[in-house]
Structure 1
Amino acid sequence: MRVSLVVSALSLILSACAPAPVAQVAMNRPSPAIAGAALAPLQGFAAQPAPQAARGNADIARDFLDLAFQMESGRALPVLTRFDGPITVALTGDVPATAHPDLARVMARLRAEAGIDIRPALPGGNAAITIDFQPQATMRRLVPSAACFVVPRVSSFAEYRAGRATGATDWSTLTRRERVGIIAPSDTSPQEVRDCLHEELAQAIGPLNDLYRLPDSVFNDDNFHTVLTGFDMLVLRVYNDPALANGMTRAEVAARLPAILARLNPAGEGRGAGGNAAIAPRPWIEAVEKALGARGSDAARRSAADRMLSIARAQGWNDNRLAFSWFAVGRANVGHDRDTAARAFREARRIWQGQPGGEVRTAHVDMQLAAFALAGGDFAEALALTDRAIPVVRRAENAALLATLLMIRSEANVALGRDDAAEAARLDSLGWARYGFGTDAQVRARLSDIAGLAASGRRG
């Protein structure tokens, strides 16, 4: 399940962790003018293979077992379940225009990188996986915190609603997967639709759990990674390896994992497990939801972020969870105490710089610090931070974050009198903004927010 946490560039720049406005339906058509010029056409990323997993096989085996044999709620799963044979996928409901090409791209990656036989269902045929697009308001009446989710034994939201009280949608009762439904939003940005396709398809054909300790995976509710990573592709390849089978227990899978990983990931051999691998305790997860969720006061978010950090330190963590706690403290203090926020962001970046997959997270920090620099009149620093972050974000395929960085870059160049460079960055930002934010109104709002920061910096 992809949860709605406000941690990305979709949240308002330099506000006190305000939730992103609900996107209108994204339309791939010409747009009204902004500041006298029409918006660029909506852009999207071409498919590209992810770098291979960069951790040792002992770590990956440990993570695989916790992902495969536990639910996000903490419930244990008795046996491994998966599809047997080719997997077919169908789209239904109010399907967004970008869903078909983005689904084709992720299925091509799953075939090439994870070795999974996944293909579109034939018209009128029975699909193994059906992705049903519904309005966000309809979804959240039943699952308030979910941006999208995956359910067994159903092919539609209506089936899920009818069967949720009967036990039919309980994953722990499965012995194999035959029919799975993915419920996704029809009225959000193209990027959010794509992110749901990546994460929910991965859970439909692989592990069901998310782990906050993972720095390099979409199997993590912090939502920093928006598309499937090299670690994710390896996990899915292992999950569907012929040496495993439906009905295997955790102990049986654990006995076979070393040989499977040695065959599929020889570069990870001989590297032992390290760090604190314990599952994050429930109080810390509840603090995450309060610190970065859409509900509650600014003071409540700051309190929850401080609680995250206190628990992380008490647990002895020095991994993604500690860095994420620092990041939450930074986000919660953006509109309250900028010095505290900047210190927290830098501490998060220090930890993430030493972790596999941490470069994507450090790019989020760099965006926040670039916004600070822009608002403080340090335009050269804003350019340096965007210089460092933009190549990482392009590779990570985060259009919303990329657009924001380019807008910051444009305003910094304007302030320095570099009009040609400013115009190039602004034009580059607009097509990515339409993919990342979804509507012309939201693109205008982001442009206005960042222009306001630059104006503040010039006055200062």
Structure 2
Amino acid sequence: MTAGRLRRWNLLPLLGLLAVAACGGPEPVPPVADTRPVVRPDPGPSQEELRKARAERNRAANAAAAEALVKASATSTAQRDFYDRAERALRAQGRLRRDRVPMDAPIDAETLTRNFIAVALRDEYGQGGIQAGDGGAPAPLRRWQDPVRLQIEFGTTSDVATRRSYRIEVSQYAARLAEATGHRVSLTDSGGNFVVMVLSDDERRAIGPRLAQLVPGIPAHDIAAMQDLDADNFCTVFAYSRGAAPVYSNAVALIRAELPPLLQSSCIHEELAQGMGLANDSPEARPSIFNDDEEFALLTRHDELLLKILYDPRLRPGMSAAEAEPVVRQIATELMAQNI
């Protein structure tokens, strides 16, 4: 069976016949004036009308966010205070640092190699979503093959200003991830394969049906993990591949809407970078966001180099730690020699 096609009539023979006919025959009839009214295309809404419509949408979104906050549960309200205090306490302890190249934490090729193996080739969670001990469970090298299309979804408690701020920050961070990895990473309004969900406590507990839509076949224990996220977990990410393939096809990150600004940025940096394939945290990784001690809030130069190693074409998805280590050491040596 042939595939369907659009059938287009060939007008050239017909036009040729008309041209020949016009060369002879009776005198042409004088043209009759066309008295039909001219139909002009609808110019559409004016810029002022568009501005007013956008302002009205923003007003409605802000009103909905304000109403949702009023209706928020006592738990969600208490969490905002809790995370504000947590951020202040961490900063008072000298944590949540924002320096990209800290002078008190020099790195070399051996540091990069050791930390890459610990972060990229081990898993924080084992089978069934159970947290693994002793530095994580051994895992093959995983990364994306298709372009990463980040899509942000908000609950009703996020107002227009919050949404705009998130989109700007995620878009800028996507460009940084793309530069570090050499892989295509961008922000999209729809059709994303890496969804970032910004939800309040109430919204998160009701997110099961939406997660099932976003990732068909998502394990029930992953949905439960996100719905029942412990209060001391600010955010989380789950990445998925098709079958047993070591190539990611989908990812979902969840960030609490109750977080203050610096913890919010810290979650964006860590979860999106982990969703690129640096799946584990290590207490030895420094200076790094892939360490649960919260010393660093934002992606460091060390972490950028880990991402660069991960997407180097000399490595391939599915490699074990034993297979990858000599290649990683060679890449790390080259990177440190370049002083990038």
TM-fit CA distance, 1:84: 0.6
Task: After TM superposition, give the deviation of residue 80 of structure 1 in Å.
Answer: 1.0
Distance 1:78 1:192 in 2: 29
Please name the residue that 1:71 is paired with.
123
Point out the structure with the larger helix share. 1
Which residue of 132, 146, 156 maps to 2:233? 146
Equivalent of 1:91, from 140, 147, 152? 152
| Counterpart-to-counterpart distance in 1, 2:90 and 2:178 | 37
Question: What is the CA distance between 1:71 and its match in structure 2?
Answer: 2.1
Distance 2:110 2:234 in 1: 32
**4+ long deviations beyond 6 Å:** 4-8
Q: Size of the alignment, in residue pairs?
A: 215
Q: Is the 8 A contact 1:79 1:248 kept in 2?
A: yes
Give how far 1:177 is off. 0.5
How far off its partner does 1:199 sit? 0.3
Q: Distance in 2 between matches of 1:250 and 1:198?
A: 25
Q: Which residue of 1 aligns with 2:109?
A: 57
CA distance in structure 1 between the partners assigned to 2:91 and 2:335 by the alignment: 42
User: 2:275 aligned with 1:204, yes or no?
Assistant: yes
Q: In the alignment, which residue of structure 1 is the partner of 2:201?
A: 136
What is the CA-CA distance between 1:234 and the residue it aligns to? 0.3
Residue 8 (structure 1) shift: 6.2
* Residue 12 of structure 1: how far off its partner (Å): 9.1
Note closer, same or farther for the CA distance 1:175–1:113 as it changes in structure 2 (3 Å cut): closer
Identity, in percent, stands at 22
Q: Which has the larger radius of gyration?
A: 2
Unmatched 5+ residue regions in structure 2?
A: 1-81, 125-131, 206-225
Which of 1, 5, 10 is the aligned partner of 2:88? Answer: 10
Corresponding residue number in structure 1 for 2:186: 119
What TM-score, normalized by structure 1, do the two folds share?
A: 0.42
TM-score, length-scaled by structure 2: 0.56
Q: CA RMSD in A?
A: 3.3
Equivalent position SS for 1:177: strand
Q: 1:124 to 1:7 in 2, by over 3 A?
A: closer
Q: Which residue of 1 aligns with 2:142?
A: 81
1:109 aligns with 2:176: yes
SS at match of 1:101: helix
Match of 1:185 in 2: 256
Verify: 1:100 aligned to 2:167, yes or no.
Answer: yes
Q: Distance in 2 between matches of 1:249 and 1:202?
A: 20
1:234 alignment partner AA: L
| Aligned amino acid, residue 151 of structure 1 | F
CA distance in 2, matches of 1:102, 1:76: 32
The secondary structure found in structure 2 opposite 1:232 is helix
Farther off after superposition, 97-106 or 133-142: 133-142
Does the CA-based 8 Å contact 1:64-1:235 persist in structure 2?
yes
Contact persistence 2:177–2:273 (CA under 8 A) = no
Please, which runs of 5 or more residues in structure 1 have no aligned partner?
18-47, 155-167, 269-460
**Counterpart-to-counterpart distance in 1, 2:90 and 2:308:** 38
Using the TM superposition, give the Cα deviation of residue 188 of structure 1 relative to its aligned residue in structure 2, in angstroms: 2.2
